[in-house]
Structure 1
Amino acid sequence: MLIPLADVPRWYAERKPKDTIAIRHGTEALTWEQLERRANARARAFMAKGVRPGDFVAIGLPNGNAFFETSFAVWKCGATPTSLSWRLPRGEAAAVLEILQPSLVVGGEADWNAPNSLPATFVPEGFSEEQLTAPVARYWKAMTSGGSTGRPKVILDHQPAVTDTAAEPPLGIPKDVSLLNPGPLYHNAPFIVSHYGLFAGGRLTGMVKFDAEESLRLIQAERIQWVNFVPTMMHRIWALPESVRNSYDVSSLKIVFHMAAPMPPWLKEKWIEWVGPEKIYELYGGTERQGRTVISGTEWLKHRGSVGKIDDSCKLRIIGPDGKDVAPGESGEIYFLPDDGPGCTYHYLGAEPKRRPDGWESLGDIGRLDEEGYLYLGDRLADMVLRGGANIYPAEVEAALMAHPDIRSCVVVGLPDPELGQRVHAIVELDERADAQAIVDGMSGFLADRLSRYKHPESYEIVNMMLRDDSGKVRRTLLRDERATWLKEGCDFRIMPARAGAEAG
């Protein structure tokens, strides 16, 4: 049966035992009835603040039960939620809010200066908790992303705010699932899978902040069946002492998905050995949903390194520099086309898609297909740094660094990192009179109000050469590859570590 997302809490509250838990974060739990009543009260409070059907509402809340009270309240208003990191510096927040134009911001930092907002500590006192009805939102979510210029964009998902309670949930999520969410809800995948679990009538166990051993404890205690990790999390779990890792019972797991960043083959093999190949799944695709591939651990063992075959809802091509399809085994740019045509799954606010005249779209990745149609990813076309599952655009970091009065020029690249996949490295040309060590030591404070912490460079390299030509161009790939080679060869090229390490995104 097709029902509005706004009605999901009431639907299950009326069909499950009264004390059935819907959501738990730490010691705080919400039953389905509590979720329904609190979301109703919040929705009325939001309406009193001016939220109307068709509006956007920005949610800047940390992981917790209040986040879900808020997301369902937004749908109950007939509006569309946009999830933002509550720690965004005011500059980044202002850029997103300028594009989104939300009617309300819930949470976030006080210095965001949103024209209409409610604090993270807001409790809807004096508002009715009884059922309410509003039109269904045209877009069920609007998530943010960066662009190749470092400017943010908003991705409007064209699925309306409804769910089919009779249909099989996506991604192998079983009905009445016990699902663990270890990731931040301002990222697309954690937002999606957490809500999918609730739409399926499941019990969501959320982590306020990821901790490797705690995730294993929760899997055992809550008999978790389904979880989505990024490879960084899987690396940290595997890095636990074997005696610790094996002291927890993870036999309840049915599916372990990973996505959002490249997975080291050796790490994937270890997880396959640990939990079984039939339980490991990988997804490759974008928030835009133009196309995706999925592969099980069983398939991966036969096609080591692949990210799977194209989903049956879309098509895939590998196109060479000449604009023609390449042969199997040859590399080119990956393009997708949904079966229902270009632009059917999303549209942007603040950007234009990379779309060919024939409608095929690229995420900016390079790959190749084998004879059986399995996709293998290569280097990214874009300059994006993929750090622990988070996308970091060099242009944005460079712009923040260049605001420093002693920095003449800079180039930011991603260097290999065994845990995070890549780390952010800044190659900096300084004023010749500047104290390089003092500047590097002070960069954490200098960038604090300009960039989210996970985007801060983790190492600096001071050079006395011109990094860009007169037209402002830079050979970024050459600079990155040189340094990756030097690292591999153990060469010293004046890396200066940042004193305050960045947090994983």
Structure 2
Amino acid sequence: MYPAPIARERPGARAYVMAPSGESLTYAELEARSNQVAHLLRERGIGPGGTLLLVLENRLEWPVLVAAGMRSGLYVTPVNWHLRAGELGPLLAEAVGDGASCAIVTSARCADVVAEALREVGKPALLLSVDAGGDLEFLGDAVAGLPETPIEGELLGARVLYSGGSTGRPKAFRQQLLGVHPADAPARHAGLAAKLELAADTVFLSPAPNYHAAPFTFQLITLSLGGTVVCLDRFDAERSLAAIAAHGVTHSQWVPTMLLRLLRLSPEARARHDLSSHRVAFTSGAPCPPEVKTAIMDWWGPILHEYYGASEGYGHTYVGPHDALAHPGTVGKPLSGSVHVTDDAGREVLAGTVGKVWFAPGGSVYRNAGDAGADLRSVGDLGRLDEDGFLYLVGREGHTIISGGVNVYPTEVEDTLLTHPAVADAAVIGLPDPEFGEGVAAVVELTVERAGDVSGAELIEYCRERLAGFKAPRRVEFVASLPRLPTGKLNKTLLRDRILSGDSGATGEGA
């Protein structure tokens, strides 16, 4: 993402808009402010190969900081700002303690947690807040009077994203620094961008936290093309529709839980907002239940696309609206390279057989540092290919439940639970069972409207009516919220440990 050429050609074009406040940046403003931050970083010793770590909510400073890092040869590293100090500490330690220069930018809301986490790991070369009045140096004061023109020797930076890994502990995946000028940056996900018709006239709604992989990536793509990002300060179903109408949004990105909450809006709430500008929507982050896709396209028309890929960036699949309806449940075919499904011995299995999913990487230059060497790469997902080559995901390696000698794949049960009108979010895990080895357990977050209004027994029966009996949960616990990884995916390892220790935060239970 390099705003300079767009600022020259269309200085007054909108680059970034915060919703619902309407605060915005033109490309000329984004160019000037990101240059000032780049000068600050250079003056404070944060040189190429260093780290710019963002512990920050969705706000207008976000694209300025990202653009500054991406034009300064830095590793731009967004971090989940909801983390507590004990969770944040290991992430900061890796950035501060690796011997490279590091700048951390945070906000008044997160400053105390950042300070507590840093007590154990040491201070970075530069620590700033986007808010004035606190104990930290204020970004606005730090850049005052600095040049609004580019630094000398601009270099393309790289993104760092965190994956949960097999243990649930976040692991950093750094894309390689390419050593080129930002103006010469290769297109990101060019095949996917073409499928989604992203272009200079795109107005992209980003309703999710910016530290998640998909919002971060698609904001970069949109701004690289000269489009407009409309960023929600936090997700809310009706405010999302209001933003589409108010800003003429053409493209939007969602996770399945968001789509469910949109579908649960009343007919009156849906009708209040003109969505005629909205021509492309896409979902990622977790497989989207077929019923949800169908319902969204009944409402919006056949505009919902889906792609599957991991934060590690090993590969991606894509499915368009019409193929999604013809092949319910698929996450599509690979956009580049190839997808393989193998058994435990590494042998490819027949179509229709569940196994471990592997990507043979395509030709993308945006590879992670240290990725060279392996022909096939996996993130531990389980799935199957059909006769036409479409991929279907069924769960994660290590999350498969073996109950009475039979495999139960949590994704199928979770998808069923999520169709219940009282369920806002659900995680299905295996717990020790003296008779069956493992028993199927569901941990459920209810909607605000139905909290306390549905029993575990009701949800168990709901699943039994729609699934084979052995797949239905034997136990249901209700929680106020489910733990998630920095990627946005459910942290089932942590959840299972909490339940086994009796510290799940359960608000009720049913069997």
TM bin (shorter chain): 0.7 to 0.9
Letter in 1 for 2:362: D
CA contact (8 A) 1:415 1:423 kept: no
Q: Does 1:286 align with 2:310?
A: yes
CA contact (8 A) 1:282 1:307 kept: yes
Query: Which residue is equivalent to 1:119?
Result: 129
Distance 1:20 1:175, change over 3 A: closer
Letter in 2 for 1:346: N
Q: Which runs of structure 2 are paired with 1:347-366 in the superposition (5 Å)?
A: 347=369, 359-366=375-382
Compute the displacement of 1:283 (Å). Answer: 0.4
Compute the displacement of 1:326 (Å). Answer: 0.9
Query: Which residue is equivalent to 1:14?
Result: 8
Q: Which runs of structure 2 are paired with 1:162-181 in the superposition (5 Å)?
A: 162-163=184-185, 169-170=193-194, 171-181=196-206
Query: Which residue is equivalent to 1:273?
Result: 298
Distance 1:373 1:423, change over 3 A: closer
List per-residue Cα deviations over 1:223-258 (Å, max 9, x = no partner).
111110111111111100012112322121121000
- State the number of aligned residues: 417
Query: Which residue is equivalent to 2:105?
Result: 106
Give the alignment partner of residue 373 of structure 1, picking from 386, 389, 395: 389
Query: Which residue is equivalent to 1:91?
Result: 86
List per-residue Cα deviations over 1:64-90 (Å, max 9, x = no partner).
110111111112322120001223211
Query: Which residue is equivalent to 1:407?
Result: none
List per-residue Cα deviations over 1:372-425 (Å, max 9, x = no partner).
11111112213399xxxxxxxxxxxxxxxxxxxxxxxxxxx9897525553488
- Match of 1:98, SS state, is helix
Distance 1:501 1:381, change over 3 A: closer
Compute the displacement of 1:47 (Å). Answer: 2.4
Distance in structure 2 (CA, Å) of the matches to 1:291 and 1:125: 39
Distance in structure 2 (CA, Å) of the matches to 1:141 and 1:220: 31
CA contact (8 A) 2:251 2:279 kept: yes
Distance 1:52 1:384, change over 3 A: farther
CA contact (8 A) 1:319 1:326 kept: yes
Query: Which residue is equivalent to 1:199?
Result: 224
Distance in structure 2 (CA, Å) of the matches to 1:344 and 1:74: 16
Distance 1:384 1:67, change over 3 A: farther
Give the alignment partner of residue 82 of structure 1, picking from 77, 85, 92: 77
Q: Does 1:29 align with 2:21?
A: no
List per-residue Cα deviations over 1:445-484 (Å, max 9, x = no partner).
xxxxxxxxxxxxxxxxxxxxxx69xxxxx99982335999
Query: Which residue is equivalent to 1:322?
Result: 345
Distance 1:423 1:135, change over 3 A: farther
Q: Which runs of structure 2 are paired with 1:341-420 in the superposition (5 Å)?
A: 345-347=367-369, 359-383=375-399, 417-418=417-418, 419-420=423-424
Distance in structure 2 (CA, Å) of the matches to 1:196 and 1:291: 17
Distance 1:195 1:317, change over 3 A: same
Query: Which residue is equivalent to 1:156?
Result: 174
CA contact (8 A) 2:35 2:151 kept: no
Query: Which residue is equivalent to 1:454?
Result: none
Q: Which runs of structure 2 are paired with 1:118-267 in the superposition (5 Å)?
A: 118-121=128-131, 122-123=139-140, 124-135=142-153, 137=155, 140-158=158-176, 160=178, 162-163=184-185, 169-170=193-194, 171-267=196-292
CA contact (8 A) 2:40 2:146 kept: no
Distance in structure 1 (CA, Å) of the matches to 2:123 and 2:443: 45
Distance in structure 1 (CA, Å) of the matches to 2:116 and 2:400: 28
Letter in 2 for 1:331: V
List per-residue Cα deviations over 1:283-324 (Å, max 9, x = no partner).
01112222211001111111111111122x211111113321
Distance 1:384 1:247, change over 3 A: farther
Distance in structure 2 (CA, Å) of the matches to 1:60 and 1:46: 17
Distance in structure 2 (CA, Å) of the matches to 1:56 and 1:362: 27
TM-score, length basis structure 2 = 0.73
CA contact (8 A) 2:440 2:473 kept: no
Distance 1:241 1:503, change over 3 A: farther
CA contact (8 A) 2:440 2:474 kept: no
Distance in structure 2 (CA, Å) of the matches to 1:20 and 1:476: 62
Query: Which residue is equivalent to 1:449?
Result: none
Distance in structure 1 (CA, Å) of the matches to 2:311 and 2:62: 20
Letter in 1 for 2:305: Y
Distance in structure 1 (CA, Å) of the matches to 2:442 and 2:207: 36
Compute the displacement of 1:163 (Å). Answer: 3.4
Distance 1:241 1:420, change over 3 A: closer
CA contact (8 A) 1:139 1:156 kept: no
CA contact (8 A) 2:381 2:396 kept: yes
- Match of 1:376, SS state, is strand
Distance in structure 2 (CA, Å) of the matches to 1:476 and 1:14: 67
TM-score, length basis structure 1 = 0.74
List per-residue Cα deviations over 1:100-155 (Å, max 9, x = no partner).
33611111433232512112323134342321235455652011122212322111
Q: Does 1:488 align with 2:441?
A: no
RMSD of Structure 2 on Structure 1 (CA): 3.5
- Match of 2:353, SS state, is coil
Distance in structure 2 (CA, Å) of the matches to 1:320 and 1:495: 32
Query: Which residue is equivalent to 1:58?
Result: 53
CA contact (8 A) 1:24 1:30 kept: yes
Query: Which residue is equivalent to 2:492?
Result: none
Compute the displacement of 1:426 (Å). Answer: 11
CA contact (8 A) 1:53 1:135 kept: no
Distance in structure 2 (CA, Å) of the matches to 1:249 and 1:339: 40
Give the alignment partner of residue 71 of structure 1, picking from 66, 71, 83: 66
Compute the displacement of 1:201 (Å). Answer: 0.3
- Match of 1:174, SS state, is coil
User: Is the deviation greater in 38-47 or in 200-209?
Assistant: 38-47
Distance in structure 1 (CA, Å) of the matches to 2:440 and 2:369: 32
Distance 1:476 1:201, change over 3 A: farther
Letter in 2 for 1:323: G
Compute the displacement of 1:262 (Å). Answer: 2.2
User: Is the deviation greater in 70-79 or in 196-205?
Assistant: 70-79
CA contact (8 A) 2:399 2:430 kept: no
Compute the displacement of 1:497 (Å). Answer: 4.3
Compute the displacement of 1:91 (Å). Answer: 1.4
Distance in structure 2 (CA, Å) of the matches to 1:501 and 1:272: 28
